[in-house]
């Protein structure tokens, strides 16, 4: 495994190709059988936004905004944003036995199994090699301690960012999510304005409304019901604590409490990550 890690830290293309191949093989050795992504801990090394080969993980509850912040950092750092949620949705849009199986799992509010997630991620990393990708920001993986152990045996994760948001806000955000059925854009109609009380700070998040031409085409995800969202959050809390502890004891976990919406949270997140943002300062309020 030492030799493997040395190889992974070298050439980026070898890194991605090897990761895809070895996630599958290491998982198999672990007993998997495959079917037919405010700072309180951890310190992010200072990094120039133009640098590449970042190998970060984003953790956080469903609806916390992992995809939003990971994709912004992906553009800033020039590395691919690999979201396991997107991989699952792509597979749901396909046809075949796995698509049907995933549809049933998602509609019940259950979490997709380790076997399926690792299989999808392996394929995505292999595909990235052909595109010349280097480095990555993983969003939604690892989700269990077992996945974290497999990933550690494959490649060196530099930093794990754990985004946090109070549960009542998470619920409102999830129930406010909308998708444009035409362009596929993601929006949120929830207007959150919670006053501080009993020592807890207030939090305000304006809606992320679509352009006028998308307004009449907004749809709600089938799994964004209060019952399903609460079940997803319960399952996440149950599984996430061992993952957080796994990275905490390794000194790689950076916990960040979102203080509000994007305009307020983005610059503070950049400071927590020791990033010098040259390209997107003006887009923070977008």
Indicate if 66 belongs to the active site. Answer: yes
Indicate if 9 belongs to the active site. Answer: no
Indicate if 72 belongs to the active site. Answer: no
The DSSP code for 35 is: -
Active-site hit among 72, 124, 143, 178: 143
What 3-state DSSP class applies to 235? Answer: helix
Rounded CA-CA distance 28/153 in Å is 13
Active-site hit among 72, 124, 178, 232: 232
Paired sense of beta strands 159-164 and 253-257, if any: parallel
Indicate if 232 belongs to the active site. Answer: yes
CA 254 to chain centre: 14
Query: How many CA within 13 A on the CB side of residue 153?
Result: 17
Rounded CA-CA distance 59/70 in Å is 10
What 3-state DSSP class applies to 181? Answer: coil
Helices 226-248 and 145-152: crossing angle in degrees, nearest 10, is 40
Active-site hit among 66, 72, 124, 146: 66
CB 53 within 8 A of CB 157: no
Q: Is 135 left (phi over 0), alpha (psi -120 to 50) or beta?
A: left
**CA proximity to 82, closest of 90, 74, 92, 72:** 74
Active-site hit among 17, 164, 221, 271: 221
Indicate if 143 belongs to the active site. Answer: yes
Active-site hit among 72, 177, 178, 252: 177
Query: Mind telling me the catalytic residues?
Result: 66, 143, 177, 221, 232
């Amino acid at each position: 495994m030492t030799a493997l890690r040395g190889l992974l830290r070298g050439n980026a293309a070898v890194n991605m190709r090897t990761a895809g191949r070895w996630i599958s093989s290491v998982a198999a050795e672990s007993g998997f059988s495959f079917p037919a992504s405010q700072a309180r801990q951890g310190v992010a090394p200072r990094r120039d936004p133009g640098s590449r080969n970042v190998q970060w993980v984003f953790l956080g509850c469903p609806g916390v905004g992992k995809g939003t912040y990971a994709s912004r950092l992906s553009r800033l750092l020039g590395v691919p944003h690999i979201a396991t949620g997107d991989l699952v949705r792509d597979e749901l849009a396909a046809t075949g036995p796995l698509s049907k199986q995933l549809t049933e799992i998602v509609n019940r509010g259950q979490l997709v199994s380790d076997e399926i997630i690792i299989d999808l991620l392996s394929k995505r990393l292999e595909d990235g090699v052909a595109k010349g990708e280097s480095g990555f920001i993983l969003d939604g993986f690892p989700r269990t301690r077992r996945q974290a152990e497999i990933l550690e045996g494959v490649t060196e994760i530099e930093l794990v960012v754990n985004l946090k948001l109070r549960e009542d806000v998470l619920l409102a955000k999830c129930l406010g999510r909308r998708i444009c059925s035409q362009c596929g854009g993601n929006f949120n109609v929830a207007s959150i304005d919670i006053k501080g009380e009993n020592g807890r700070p207030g939090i305000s998040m304006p809606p992320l409304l679509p352009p006028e031409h998308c307004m009449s085409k907004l749809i709600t995800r089938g799994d964004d019901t209060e019952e399903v969202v609460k079940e997803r959050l319960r399952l996440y809390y149950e599984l996430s604590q061992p993952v957080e502890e796994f990275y905490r004891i390794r000194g790689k976990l950076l916990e960040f409490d979102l203080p509000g919406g994007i305009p307020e949270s983005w610059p503070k997140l950049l400071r927590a990550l020791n990033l010098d943002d040259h390209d997107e300062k003006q887009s923070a309020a977008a």
